[in-house]
Amino acid sequence: MGYKLNEREFNQLLGELSEKYLIYAPKVFVGKGRFSDTDCIRYDKVKNVEDMELSLKSQYSFKEVLNPVSETLFYFTEDSVKEADMPRNKGAIIFLRSCDLHAVERMDEMYLNNGPKDYYYKRLRDNIHFVLIGCSKAFDSCFCVDMGTNKSDNYDIGLNVREDGYELDVKWDEAKDILGKMAKENSLKEEDVTVDFVKETTTRVSIPKNLSYDVSKSKIWEEYAGRCINCGRCNFVCPTCTCFTMQDVYYDANGKVGERRRVWASCMVDGYTDVAGGGSYRKNNGERMRFKTLHKALDYRNRTGYNMCVGCGRCDDICPEYISFSNILNKLDTAMKEVSANG
Ligand code: SF4
Ligand code: SF4
């Protein structure tokens, strides 16, 4: 069922949905960019369409709605434990693009299908609805077409932002009911809407079909030992990075009382692979890059049949050392030839 709405009508729909749902969308944080006098676009709660930034790419993904940067899991005293309340007391609606909707599938795979279901993820994942923002053109660093994530039908509402209004393809009954009522009261008319998706990108990526763990022996990883400064930004912006660490925070007044938090972790930073006895598996930044690349483009695919990376290009945009992940993927073919030639 499709409709075309003006701004007031779209806000009316959002207003009615917000009685039961928190709405999350990309938003501009003025002056909060990485460089002075630049802005940052990241996800936050919004009330209306004026709060949203729907034309630019968000530097950070939707993932903190489902997996907060820092989440208290429970509180403990000397002899009791109390589960922390859920960070959200309503359902949620997330506005996101096709690559990110595919990234939700990756997050679900890691938190719900990779062993026992993660309780804390599941309670935030339940009662979520997705509004797919149509892409009429690709941004410079996107390579979603080559990763097969440029198109998705798995949405509740599909949205095209036009100069003169908002086109909606609605699959969700609650939204259909509201729009049906609005149609009776206003002059809304049903019309066919097809959500925009890109068919080509400037950045192209090709992962060799014969990619194997032998590529670990290639010399390409050595470059990153020097260039990468292990800041971890590439992990934090990535919608498919799901690693976390646990932190017990003890309250000062009583050292046996406190809370346990889980906090985002990064496989690129120091300490991630430290183990008991003072060992560390990947001290070199080139080894960390090798691990991250093969997880995104080989190891996960071997288990699920599809790549973990969705080609959003955020890691390329954010790296302070201008290290391009899409470039690394494109080097894998040469790297495989190098290791084959070396036997
Ligand atoms: S690895 Fe980079 S391009 Fe791939 S999903 Fe993560 S941030 Fe996006
Ligand atoms: S953002 Fe760049 S410099 Fe920082 S850890 Fe990632 S690859 Fe290394």
d(CA 229, CA 8): 47
Q: Any alpha helices (H) in 113-230, and if so which ranges? A: 119-125, 144-147, 173-185, 222-227
Answer with the residue of higher pLDDT: 342 or 202: 202
Ligand found nearest the CA of 146: 1
Q: Minimum-distance ligand to the CA of 141?
A: 1
Q: Rounded mean pLDDT of 100-128?
A: 97
* pLDDT tops 90 at residue 186: no
Residue boundaries of the structural domains of the chain: 2-66+87-186
Are 62 and 128 in contact by the 8 Å Cβ rule? The answer is: no
Alpha-carbon gap, residue 44 to 22, rounded angstroms: 10
Q: State residue 216's pLDDT score.
A: 97
Directed axis angle between helix 285-294 and helix 325-341, to 10°? 100
Q: Which of 231, 235, 236, 314 to mutate to test the pocket of ligand 2 (most atoms within 8 A of CB)?
A: 231
170 pLDDT band (50/70/90 cuts)?
very high
Contact 237 CB / ligand 1 (< 6 Å): yes
Q: Which residue has the higher pLDDT, 254 or 170?
A: 170
Whether residue 26 has its Cβ less than 6 Å from ligand 1:
no
Ligand 1 centroid distance, CA of 230 (Å): 16
> To the nearest whole percent, how much of the chain has pLDDT over 90?
93
Mean pLDDT of 247-255: 86
Task: Give the number of the ligand closest to the Cα of residue 272.
Answer: 2
pLDDT in tens, 204-233: 999 999 999 999 999 999 999 999 999 999
Atom of ligand 2 nearest to the CA of 315: 1
The band of 314, judged by pLDDT with boundaries at 50, 70 and 90, is very high
CA 15 to ligand 1 centroid distance, Å: 33
Residue 191, pLDDT above cutoff 80 = yes
Task: For 38-81, write each residue's pLDDT tens digit.
Answer: 999 999 999 999 999 999 999 999 999 999 999 999 999 989 99
CA distances from 271 to 163, 236, 268 (A): 49, 16, 9
Mean pLDDT of 157-170: 97
Indicate the pLDDT class of residue 253, thresholds 50, 70 and 90.
confident
Amino acid 343: pLDDT? 74
Asked whether residue 185 carries a pLDDT value surpassing 90, the answer given is no
Residue 35 has pLDDT above 90, yes or no: no
Pick the more confident residue, 184 or 25: 25
- In this model, does residue 254 exceed pLDDT 80? no
Q: Is 323 in the pocket of ligand 2 (CB under 6 A)?
A: yes
Establish whether residue 232 lines the binding site of ligand 2, counting it when its CB lies within 6 angstroms of any ligand atom: yes
Confidence band, pLDDT 50/70/90 cuts, at residue 162:
very high
**Alpha-carbon distances, residue 97 vs 101, 181, 196 (angstroms):** 6, 28, 10
Partner residues linked to 279 by β-bridges: 275
Q: Measure 240 CA to ligand 1 centroid, in angstroms.
A: 7
Tell me what pLDDT residue 168 has. 98
Rg (Cα) of the chain, in Å, rounded? 22
- What mean pLDDT value characterizes the chain? 96
The reply to whether ligand 2 has any atom less than 6 angstroms from the CB of 223 is: no
pLDDT at 34 over 90: no
Percent of the chain with pLDDT over 70: 100
- Please name the residues in contact with 108: beta carbons below 8 A apart, sequence gap of 6 or more: 125
pLDDT above 90 (res 304): yes
